[in-house]
Structure 1
Amino acid sequence: MGTNREMANNLIIRALRGNAKSFSLSSKKIASLPKSIARLKFILALHLNNNFLSELPTELQALQQLTELNLGNNILLEIPVVLKHLPALRKLYLFGNKIESLPPDILDELPNLTLLNVNHNQIKAIPPQIKSLVNLEVFSIVDNQLEVVPAELGCLVRLTELNLTNNKVSSLPPQMCRLSSLRKLYLARNNLCELPEGISGCTSLKVLDVAGNPLSLFPTDFGSLVLEELFCEGNNFVRAELKQSVQEVEVLSLNELAARVVLMEDRNKLSRVHQALPNYPELVSMLSQWGRCALCRRPFLTTWLECVKFINLNKDMGMKRRLTVPVRAVLCSYSCFNAEGHSYYGVASTS
């Protein structure tokens, strides 16, 4: 290792003589960085991937102009604390280590980060402080141990690519639907049973990968997305099969009936109901959970029929694939369900 350290020192001296803006010690079999690394004060990119680094020296904080740091494929057990002293850092690669967490105090000090790659580690959680990365555009955390995605991820309004492939995520927070700049979303090989309603809020989304999950339906507004590519193989989608069923007698509760009347009246801005509602904040909060019938477009509150509509990706969404996928739909009553001329199907119970 001593020979490797001497070699590293010689490369640093050579870089100084050439006024290099990028410096690489990739694949040099080094286990530690020489303190002379601090002399490279003006480099913009530092590549240290494919080595045996388990820590970084504090001298690295002298690189105040550093914008790109590659620490991929080393043996780091944690994200080095010295990184919090590199405020200019924009691209950080930490893939292929043994990192178990994303320290909140370090995330708080990296507001200029635009790319964070922590693929192939052992990270179990994304802390709420992820929202500190206000300029993040690409976040890749493939092949880790994630089970929960925090709501704060929805604060990353500049995010264009999010890759959560091969984790243990079972649900996504509705706040993710605020990511209007998101263009690529990779969710393959997780434990997702559903995608959040409101996904059409991801108005820039072009690529969606949900392959290898236990999804049964896409959310109601899925058809509003303007996708170019969809990968959805290996899910448990419902199929269009005719089955006998017994229609239940439709009896709406007084609360549901009253709520529907109020919701209908509230649509008229000149009505007394609409004008009076702001005086009853608890009622407004309760009514905020309302839905709309896919067929008659009338509002409902807590009682609906779970249905499905099968859409063709090519015909209905303008994609190249001719695959047909099931999309969740809700109807307000059996009257709507029994009406002629629609293409909604009931969802049979599997019990």
Structure 2
Amino acid sequence: MGNSALKAHLETAQKTGVFQLTGKGLSEFPEDLQKLASNLRTIDLSNNKIEVLPPLMGKFSVLKSLALNHNKLTALPEELCKLKKLEALHLNGNQLTQLPAAFGQLSALKTLSLSGNKLRTVPVQLCSLRHLDVVDLSRNQIQSVPDTVGDLQAIELNLNQNQISQISSQISYCPRLKVLRLEENCLELSMLPQSILSDSQISLLAVEGNLFEIKKLRELDGYDKYMERFTATKKKFA
């Protein structure tokens, strides 16, 4: 892509606060964007071939939404964690194995999509994020859900299509968790904590495609309590 095309995009972005350049085969983050670091609210560079994000990412002080779906990222720079206004981060279809240590400093983050990466655990940093609504960790390589998950503030947690065979019962203590998706994992019925049914806030539990029949779930203690929450929620949205 020529410089003139990039220049046109930059001029538009200066007026709108939105920079979108998807599917253009970019191999690196456009450094010229830093000229707009103080007025860009949205950056979308999805469907490119970007392998590394530069430290200058930390300069986008008013950025609210960053989308880098389907690139070739293997890591994120610590500087990304300085984005105090960032509310939505979309990184589906990359090759990330972990998140930066300071990720919990993204204090405004509400939506995080990390589907189709190479994460092996639920990142503990997510538990520091107080405004998180939706976390998508589907299609990774997660094998267990650790005790730290009890501090997660998310309303929806998507763990579909991982390799999960163990879940800490602490997940029942998540104060805001209403939707838990665990479809197509490696769960035996005995490994599903019954407290999810009897003692949690969860009103939608999706567990199809595991190592048990769904009808067996209905025989568990606490299933009636879960169904009460499920039905009440359904009525609310009906």
TM category, shorter: 0.7 to 0.9
The amino acid of 1:108's aligned partner reads: G
Larger radius of gyration: 1
Higher helix share: 2
- 1:9·1:34 contact (CA, 8 Å) conserved in 2? no
1:45 lines up with 2:42 in the alignment: yes
Task: Normalising by structure 2, report the TM-score.
Answer: 0.85
Q: Shift of the alpha carbon at 1:204?
A: 4.9
Structure 1 unmatched ranges of 5 or more: 229-317, 319-351
**Structure of greater relative contact order (alpha carbons < 8 Å, 6+ residues apart):** 2
Where in structure 2 are the equivalents of 1:1-351 lying within 5 Å? Answer: 3-4=1-2, 6-16=4-14, 18=15, 20-40=16-36, 41-103=38-100, 105-157=101-153, 159-194=154-189, 195-199=192-196, 200-205=198-203, 207-215=204-212, 217-218=216-217, 219-225=220-226, 226-228=229-231
- 2:22·2:46 contact (CA, 8 Å) conserved in 1? yes
* Residues 92 and 45 of structure 1: CA distance in aligned 2, closer, same or farther (over 3 Å): same
Q: Provide, for residues 242-289 of structure 1, a one-character-per-residue CA deviation record: whole Å limited to 9, x for no partner.
A: xxxxxxxxxxxxxxxxxxxxxxxxxxxxxxxxxxxxxxxxxxxxxxxx
Q: Shift of the alpha carbon at 1:168?
A: 0.8
- 1:77·1:97 contact (CA, 8 Å) conserved in 2? yes
The amino acid of 2:62's aligned partner reads: Q
Q: Shift of the alpha carbon at 1:6?
A: 4.8
- 1:102·1:126 contact (CA, 8 Å) conserved in 2? no
What secondary structure is seen at the aligned counterpart in 2 of 1:227? helix
Q: Provide, for residues 97-154 of structure 1, a one-character-per-residue CA deviation record: whole Å limited to 9, x for no partner.
A: 1111223x13232122111110011111223333112221111111110011122222
Q: Shift of the alpha carbon at 1:201?
A: 2.8
Q: Distance in 1 between matches of 2:67 and 2:208?
A: 29
* Residues 97 and 30 of structure 1: CA distance in aligned 2, closer, same or farther (over 3 Å): same
Aligned residues: 223
- 1:142·1:167 contact (CA, 8 Å) conserved in 2? yes
* Residues 209 and 84 of structure 1: CA distance in aligned 2, closer, same or farther (over 3 Å): same
Task: Normalising by structure 1, report the TM-score.
Answer: 0.59
Q: Calculate percent identity across the aligned residue pairs.
A: 28
